[in-house]
Amino acid sequence: MLASRPIEQETSMQTYRTIDFLDHGMRLAPDAGFIADDSIRLSHREVQALSHRIANALRGAGLNRGARVAFYSPNCALAFVALLGVLRCGAVWQPVHSRNPLKENIEFLVENNCEYVFYHSKMAAEAAQIRTSVPTLKGMRCFDEAAEDGDALLDWAAPFSDFFPDDEHGPEDIAWIKSSGGTTGRPKSIMICHRNVQALFATFHLCMPLPAGHVNLCVPPMTHGAGNIALACLARGGSIFTMERADIPRIIENIAKHHVTTMFLPPTVIYSMLSTPGIREADFSSLRYFLYTSAPMSPDKLREALEVFGPVMAQTWGQTEAPLICTYLGPAEHVQADARVLKSCGRVTPLMRVEVMDDEGRILGPGEVGEMVLQGDLVMKGYFNRDEENKKVNRFGWHHTGDVGYRDEDGLYFIIDRNKDMIISGGFNIFPSEIEHVLLAHPNVLDCAVVGVPDEKWGEAVKAIVELKAGHAATEEQLKAHCRATLDGLKTPKTIEIWETLPRSSLGKVLKKEIRERYWKDQWRRV
């Protein structure tokens, strides 16, 4: 039997503990499903008791408030259970993306003085190397099997009490530390505090009120935005079904089987779903919010998605440093929207300020293009041990996102591109996303990437790399003609290559840096 916390502690909000919001969700429907995957299903009541036991077990292992606890695992139900135990004992969740290079992950653990690692048996070989490479480690534990470190998670926690006394901490204490990823340089450790998480949960539910009994399908790694969405759903008493990878037929099957109401997928996976045979006959009637983020979607693909999935598409814009939902374009606006609005990332959310700024720190007016900057409770506490990076990203009193965009007269924000992706050809700034949207409107194109390549005359020339839909064909000249019908000569790709597959990260993002490097590796310059 789970012991009760004193009423005065249970109702106090001054501590801003992330676990308090999750406890609230678990009390809304204690016997309903909390988490499930293909191997296990647990109720809210069971998970709440387990989280207390895990918190006590971690404290017994010598972990105090603020200790870094890493997860090295694909998506699985037990990872979410362990996460609640970590948060309950006041430790800091340090999610490790298991598909990153091991060397990079070890550096992330060492830099942050990681003290404990939970891992999945599928990562046992990597765990063995971590065990001898991270000097601050106090212990390791396998989620699903007994191993060198002892019993698996549930057996290890079983002897401990199902009541963990409240661990007092404040809104500025760190809830989790995530890596920025290495696609644009050396990864940075991003500190998200409990105040940030409270703002995340509040904003999510202000923008997307969820029905009773809602179910979230967690497909992308929980280490990233999908994990944020899952936790926000749990804070309102929802259930999670988690998948290890983006298996399109199983995603379609699980939506109907588990009556999924909310899910997030990156645009590349949505494009693959739309090209799946028989997709229009599948059952998506339970869906209420189908979120896409990580990258904008082509308006033509969005219209197709609305036809297939129904009036449920919703876009959020944010970044790891300001999680998930700084702007929002909801289902109603998608349904009513023209092509212009569908190119937008939405309107600023209630707890944030979003502006467009020039290089001198001036706030720009409607229609003027500059860098998107942020203020508000979603903005991270900072990068761990990166004073220079913190100064660079926080200029003129605003957090600088690196995204280039503008605001229109109606308050809609439009992301043009990342600063780092901009092509400078003959002195003109060209943003690849505009060209990519045109190519994605071609009926035979599945996905594409536009990059700048070396050109003796222009400095950089526009080049497109295209991946076609299975069983479809198109030539370079046909694709160029398609572009010329919409774009001027400066933006029309000078060359187009058709590849069997584009290189992608494990999150499904096209690796433009890798593509670009193929053409610049023998050059003395990079612009």
Tokens of 26: 């678990």
CA angle 190, 224, 332 (to 5 degrees): 115
Tokens of 28: 């809304």
Find the Cα–Cα–Cα–Cα dihedral 18, 295, 374, 332, rounded to 10°: -80
Assess contact for 374 and 399: CB atoms under 8 A: yes
Assess contact for 402 and 420: CB atoms under 8 A: yes
C-beta neighbour count of 339 within 10 angstroms: 11
Pick 282 or 338 by higher pLDDT.
Answer: 282
Rounded to 5 degrees, what are φ and ψ at 53?
Answer: -65, -45
Tokens of 11: 């109702």
Q: Residue 45's closest CA among 72, 12, 14, 84? A: 84
Are 44-193 and 246-419 equal in CATH topology? yes
When pLDDT is averaged across residues 406-412 and rounded to a whole number, the result is 97
pLDDT beyond 60 at 194: yes
- In angstroms, the CA 157 to CA 160 distance is 6
pLDDT beyond 90 at 2: no
For residues 488-504, b (16+ Cβ closer than 10 Å) or e, as one string? eeebbbeebebeeebeb
When pLDDT is averaged across residues 418-431 and rounded to a whole number, the result is 79
Report in angstroms the alpha-carbon separations of 334 from 166, 302, 313: 44, 9, 7
When pLDDT is averaged across residues 508-523 and rounded to a whole number, the result is 86
Q: Residue 320's closest CA among 404, 451, 200, 434? A: 200
What average pLDDT does the chain have? 92
When pLDDT is averaged across residues 103-129 and rounded to a whole number, the result is 96
pTM equals 0.86
The type of residue at 471 is: G
pLDDT beyond 90 at 140: yes
Q: Would you state the pLDDT for residue 181?
A: 65
Q: Would you state the pLDDT for residue 460?
A: 87
Q: What is the residue extent of each domain of the chain?
A: 44-193, 246-419, 422-520
Tokens of 6: 């004193």
Fold of the domain built from segment(s) 422-520:
GMP Synthetase; Chain A, domain 3 (3.30.300)
Question: In CATH, what is the architecture of 44-193?
Answer: 3-Layer(aba) Sandwich (3.40)
- In angstroms, the CA 59 to CA 165 distance is 11
pLDDT tens for 296-319 read: 788 889 999 999 999 999 999 999
When pLDDT is averaged across residues 447-469 and rounded to a whole number, the result is 91
Assess contact for 501 and 467: CB atoms under 8 A: yes
Fold of the domain built from segment(s) 246-419:
Rossmann fold (3.40.50)
Pick 78 or 298 by higher pLDDT.
Answer: 78
Q: Residue 84's closest CA among 157, 185, 184? A: 157
When pLDDT is averaged across residues 44-56 and rounded to a whole number, the result is 98
pLDDT beyond 90 at 59: yes
> 65-69, 131-135, 336-340 — which is least confidently predicted?
336-340
The residues, ordered by sequence, that sit 6+ positions from 490 with a Cβ below 8 Å of its Cβ are 425, 426, 428, 430, 462
- In angstroms, the CA 77 to CA 115 distance is 22
pLDDT beyond 60 at 1: no
Pick 349 or 185 by higher pLDDT.
Answer: 349
